[in-house]
Structure 1
Amino acid sequence: MCTMVPMNRSRGRRVGRAAVAGAAAALMALVAGCSDGPAVSKARAITIVPLPDVVTAGSGGSFTVTASTPVRAKGGADAQAAASVVAVQLHLPTAGGSGSGITFRLDPAAGTRPEGYRLTSGSSGVLITARDGAGLFYGGQTLRQLLVVDGRSSTVQSLQIDDSPRYAYRGAGLDVARHFFTVAQVEQYIDEMALYKFNHLHLHLTDDQGWRIAVSSRPRLTSVGAGTEVGGGPGGSYTAADYRAIVRYAAARHVTVVPELDLPGHTNAAIVSYPELACPGDPTAVPYTGIGVGFSRVCTSKESTYRFVDDVVAAVAELTPGPLIHLGGDETKTLAPADYQAFMRRAIAVGRAHGKQVVAWDEAAADRPDLLQVWHPQNQMTSEVVTDVTAAARHGSKLLMSPADHAYLDQKYDASTSLGLDWAGFVGVEQSYDWNPDTYLPGTPAGSVAGVEAFLWTETLGTPQQLQLMALPRLPALAEVAWTPQRLRSWSDFSIRLAAQTRLWQAQGWTYTRAAGVPWQ
């Protein structure tokens, strides 16, 4: 075999330029004149997103995948699960036994990293090997991008890919509170995430405009609080069964659901449902369908408020098998700082008491949640927040990087974008891609960044098509930020590989924005 794109962790930017040369060549040879084997002629370009660590071109023939090509699993239930999901994605049958075809092999001694995989293809078939089920599934997503559809069959050239992620947490958030999205629509978003190897879905379940998750001990949260959304639409909510269905669908694609109950602000829908959550003298809460923020608060001096927090956290924690729960903490503009901190300290303790690690927005840094989500753009990051965030990181809080000027997918691409907002500035595709999470906040200790999360807020987005227009192509950009080592990334490489993704999006029936700066085909 001949190393085509030696994307090991010591070769740096030179590797990226080699990748771009291969991608730009489209149907030209990937390798010409390799000293350790014959050239691969008429090879298809490798345009994988996120960029893998190492791609090695083989000397053998390609493998043709037809509608009858079998998908097999070896090594147990995790291999079978990955094979089954990817077979459905590729519209291929599953089969037992051995032979040519596509094989998912679980091997604890494979030598791959956590969530990593090795994909080997040749004339006799494709073998994906990993030490865990997530790695097998991600190898399957890479295979989906390798297949070149010509209407009758697909081909995979002879090669080997060795790959693993940069960060353990690779998240995508979806706001279902401003506009409600059905179970099927959330599952479609999970499909988009899974293709690009995201592994956490952050569901923003509660806000001023609506409460979207049923709590049996507090039934008015959904019978009253779920009936509104931005613009006056009907709203909606998830039953316990609905939520479990989302969790199962996500888990089958190695996505962990992280539910958010936004407290103590962003709580108008909760207060409309239970007026006793307000403090005496506060304005009477009425259903809200606008997009303003910072006006609502629960009364942090009442013990009954903390009984409410315990009720809702207990209910959602019981429904959520994943280790995390998000308790908000952002944009509480009507509470004194001491009252805010006292509330967040108690709320975080409640989350931990129910067996969860707690995530909170960066305003809660002083209370040191387990995972601190950095959302402020740099030009709006106060010195106080920076000081608190870096102090929290030094004392053990991990950082989840979601700065709005790079990772908020609801921000307009440019001045011509009809959807979205622009309070964080325009966020083009290159802006989403070209940043380093480890150095975004100077002064944070090495190793404190747990991962990256893209977020799609829905003040102006009410349909799945609108979600896609804002997520694609920026969601893949954030995927590569989260997966690929920083030194292997460059915009010129990525933009060419990104443009080639439209073939797959069109095959899925997905829509996207032909944003500026990308050499669309």
Structure 2
Amino acid sequence: MIQFLPTLPAIVGSFLCTTPVAAQSVVPATAQPVALLPAPQSLTSAEGGFTLTAISGIAIPAGDDGARNAADRLAELLPRTGGPNLSIKPHGTIRFERVPGIAAEGYRLTTSSSGATIRASDDAGLLYGAVTLWQLARPGTGGTFIPAVTIADGPRFRWRGLMLDSARHFQSPEFVKRLLDAMAANKLNTFHWHLVDDQGWRIEIRKYPRLTGVSAWRLPATAPGAPPLPRTGGFYTQEQIREIVAYAGKRGITVVPEIEMPGHALSAIRAYPRLGMGVPLPRGVESDWGVFPWLYNTDEPTFTFLQDVLDEVMALFPSRYIHVGGDEAVKDQWKASPKIQAQMKSLGIGSEDKLQSWFIQRIGRYLAAHDRRLIGWDEILDGGITPDATVMSWRGIDGAVAAAKAGHDAVLSPAPILYLNHRQGVTAAEGTGRGELITLAQVYAFDPAPASIPAEQQRHILGVQGNLWTEHARTEEAAAAAIFPRGAAIAELGWSKAPSDFSDFIRRLAPQMARLSKLGVEPGAAVFRPVTTLSPDGAKAKVILSGQAGLPLRYTIDGTAPGGASPLYSAPLTLTMPTRLRVASILDGAAQPGAIDLNVTAATVRRRDDTELKLCTTGIALRLADDAPAKGPRAAFLTDIGNPCWIYQAAPMDGVRSITIDVGQMPFNFQIGHDVDKIRFRTPATPAGEVEIRDGCEGPKLAVLPLAPAARRPGVTRLTASLKPMSGAHDLCITYTARGVNPLWAIGAVQLVTAP
């Protein structure tokens, strides 16, 4: 396992004699620029380099297990990205050396025509030097070329983390290992594993087998009348967990487990009802999303249960930190319990928040007695915490500020900016998640050392962490695409002294995304994917292109794939119809992932999918997957579940005679407390309800499309209605009537149909 760094001032002091990479790098005009991620603290490029072949070899100090591990990791990585298979040799071209005086996790790397030397004082530094050397490798004549560089490097923060929620949706052990590989490739060193939540219990606890026998499984929610979906779930055996922890350790990664308490406890209560407050669990509630009201009770047998669980957890995870959650504990059941209220009075506790503090402090003392440290979400500050507790700040940075000022260590993990369950692109290709957009550029611009934390308290900021909550990341592919490339930006925030400009980050990100793909983790392509806005322009089509990366957009209309020599987009295009339009972001003359290929026709310029429609409100905006089919791709819908209402802005109504709307129904499986009572619909005229289209949300009704043909049908149904002739552009407001929230209807696409 890695060792954490000293305090931030000590880290910074160890690099006072270095210069940031952007200022010191000297790259010959004829050389390909070095593209490392995260950016090293100091880098100087020189002419030349050397070529690796299968006979090059790696030399390590005799008996140095840490150097051997670093050499093994390098030997494993190189072939996966086209390099040679290397073996350990006494006089290898690549040399690992153990030297004193380099800060924890830091390293020195020198490459020249004679080979490469990696020096470090600890195991992690040797490993990170190997990762950097791997990133330097590129195909060359007769082998793999390593350019000549001198690098002095080390991290800015000691905690550079990602959190994976395996409770809402289970991921295979193989995926977890691939994710760990991707983390190591970005010098991320902390894997926060969210193993327990209302929807699932994923860790085998041998003393309590019902936790996984019952609560590792559930039937996914479906809309009324829809075919049932098969049981889903899974759990990690203790043997699998030990294997994953060891796998992570060899890659310099500490695994921090999370066992939620006192809220998010439904899975434990479902298995052992005696742990709860005696409030019955509705059938199927474990398949809901949101904030649940079921809490652990505060009886002695419940603490015995939690301590037994933590005993087995601590035996599996050598991490110094054990995460206990502590967030979103709705206290209604405690408030309604005469027994709890009597206990509070006997303990002299004046509020339910103080009772939670008492609960968490008791667990903290138990962990401390076993030489572990408690870490929890920033709600653990409410009511006071033990002096050695660490705070993970998710409600903005305020929790970290409060923790630092009170003398507590803190990890910055603020929502929404470092919450990777938010959409990262605006097109339908980006999948499901929270509706609010959090782009790669926004993540990269996050300041992990804000001025609101006084300089003398900055030492309490351990680092940064991105979190993936998986309510809406149903598949491993969706999880990977949500985490990366934003996880690479978080890695640079945590490692580099000061981020460089975003355009330089993009230049270095492109080859890193290709490396991650070779490691079996396919990053999302939103940052490179062009965005098209189509509209009719008389008999032709007007096309506006944009993109997140700020790269040149090049296009073709002859069917060929766009490249560095294709026409450059500089102003809106006017195209005859039909035309096949292909567009790509271009970097160093090459097309990047996410290139688009679409047919521009009289129909497509009058079509808007769910992501192109404007939500009337964004109170609880989500992009949700349909509940059918059981296997294979599913439709997705962007909606505000608190106010399902969409606007087709500036709809071109000249010549339009009818409208078709693709609709889907989903279960309303959301725990949103009393807010559900605020959701209002117009009264339906028919049992199944109707889609209504208005000219502006307060304007006259233009069309009514009965939902009866779509009711109780899985998948997407297309509804059609005639429209009276209109001219000009109009904002079409689309809502539906209903007698309740379940099912939840959503719009997949709207098509305006012109007269033949």
The normalised TM-score by structure 1 is 0.86
Deviations 1:455-503 (A, max 9, x none): 11111113222122112210110000000113x5332322222233233
Residues 224 and 150 of structure 1, relative CA distance in 2, 3 Å threshold: farther
1:84-483 to 2 correspondences below 5 Å: 84-91=72-79, 92-99=85-92, 101-107=93-99, 109=100, 111-149=101-139, 153-228=143-218, 233-281=231-279, 283=281, 288-300=286-298, 302-334=299-331, 335=334, 336-365=352-381, 366-368=384-386, 370-377=389-396, 386=398, 390-416=401-427, 418-422=430-434, 425-439=436-450, 442=453, 445-483=457-495
Amino acid of the structure 1 residue aligned with 2:329 = T
Deviations 1:154-192 (A, max 9, x none): 211111111000011111111110111121110011011
Deviation for aligned residue 1:229: 7.3
Deviations 1:7-57 (A, max 9, x none): 965888xx56558xx8xxxxxxx53xxxxxxxx453221111111011112
Matching residue within 493, 496, 508 for 2:507: 496
* Structure possessing the higher radius of gyration over alpha carbons: 2
Amino acid of the structure 2 residue aligned with 1:367 = I
Matching residue within 80, 105, 118 for 2:68: 80
Q: Secondary structure of 1:74's match? A: coil
Amino acid of the structure 1 residue aligned with 2:52 = V
Determine if contact 2:440/2:485 at 8 Å carries over to the other structure.
yes
Determine if contact 1:230/1:459 at 8 Å carries over to the other structure.
no
Residues 409 and 68 of structure 1, relative CA distance in 2, 3 Å threshold: farther
Instruction: Say which is worse superposed, 258-267 or 362-371, in terms of deviation.
Output: 362-371
| CA–CA separation in structure 2 for the residues paired with 1:9 and 1:495 | 27
| CA–CA separation in structure 2 for the residues paired with 1:440 and 1:240 | 44
Residues 330 and 440 of structure 1, relative CA distance in 2, 3 Å threshold: farther
* Structure having greater relative contact order (Cα 8 Å, sep ≥ 6): 1
Deviation for aligned residue 1:431: 0.8
| CA–CA separation in structure 2 for the residues paired with 1:282 and 1:347 | 26
Instruction: Note the residue ranges of structure 1 that are not aligned, 5 or more in a row.
Output: 1-6, 23-29, 32-39, 379-385
Residues 229 and 341 of structure 1, relative CA distance in 2, 3 Å threshold: farther
| CA–CA separation in structure 1 for the residues paired with 2:486 and 2:125 | 24
Determine if contact 2:59/2:96 at 8 Å carries over to the other structure.
yes
| CA–CA separation in structure 1 for the residues paired with 2:282 and 2:22 | 60
| CA–CA separation in structure 2 for the residues paired with 1:242 and 1:506 | 24
Residues 489 and 221 of structure 1, relative CA distance in 2, 3 Å threshold: same
Deviation for aligned residue 1:351: 2.1
| CA–CA separation in structure 2 for the residues paired with 1:136 and 1:254 | 10
Q: Secondary structure of 2:170's match? A: coil
| CA–CA separation in structure 2 for the residues paired with 1:70 and 1:448 | 43
Matched with 1:505 is: 516
Q: Secondary structure of 1:136's match? A: helix
Q: Secondary structure of 1:406's match? A: coil
Deviation for aligned residue 1:86: 1.5
Amino acid of the structure 1 residue aligned with 2:273 = P
Amino acid of the structure 2 residue aligned with 1:87 = A
Determine if contact 2:169/2:233 at 8 Å carries over to the other structure.
yes
| CA–CA separation in structure 1 for the residues paired with 2:256 and 2:523 | 26
Q: Secondary structure of 2:183's match? A: helix
| CA–CA separation in structure 2 for the residues paired with 1:129 and 1:201 | 26
Q: Secondary structure of 2:318's match? A: coil
The normalised TM-score by structure 2 is 0.60
Determine if contact 1:116/1:130 at 8 Å carries over to the other structure.
yes
| CA–CA separation in structure 2 for the residues paired with 1:507 and 1:343 | 46
| CA–CA separation in structure 1 for the residues paired with 2:413 and 2:365 | 24
| CA–CA separation in structure 1 for the residues paired with 2:494 and 2:168 | 27
Determine if contact 1:17/1:493 at 8 Å carries over to the other structure.
no
Instruction: Note the residue ranges of structure 2 that are not aligned, 5 or more in a row.
Output: 1-13, 80-84, 222-228, 335-351, 528-547, 552-584, 588-756
Percent identical residues: 33
| CA–CA separation in structure 2 for the residues paired with 1:482 and 1:389 | 16
| CA–CA separation in structure 1 for the residues paired with 2:181 and 2:113 | 30
Instruction: Say which is worse superposed, 448-457 or 89-98, in terms of deviation.
Output: 89-98
| CA–CA separation in structure 1 for the residues paired with 2:425 and 2:445 | 16
Residues 510 and 242 of structure 1, relative CA distance in 2, 3 Å threshold: closer
Matched with 2:32 is: 44
| CA–CA separation in structure 2 for the residues paired with 1:190 and 1:204 | 15
Instruction: Say which is worse superposed, 219-228 or 276-285, in terms of deviation.
Output: 276-285
| CA–CA separation in structure 2 for the residues paired with 1:411 and 1:151 | 43
Q: How many residues align?
A: 481
Determine if contact 1:209/1:229 at 8 Å carries over to the other structure.
no
Between structures 1 and 2, the one with greater strand share: 2
Amino acid of the structure 2 residue aligned with 1:473 = P
Deviation for aligned residue 1:282: 5.3
Deviation for aligned residue 1:148: 1.1
Amino acid of the structure 2 residue aligned with 1:353 = A
Determine if contact 2:189/2:252 at 8 Å carries over to the other structure.
yes
Deviation for aligned residue 1:140: 1.0
Determine if contact 2:270/2:281 at 8 Å carries over to the other structure.
no
Deviations 1:318-343 (A, max 9, x none): 11112111000011113532322221
Q: Secondary structure of 2:323's match? A: strand
| CA–CA separation in structure 2 for the residues paired with 1:56 and 1:17 | 10
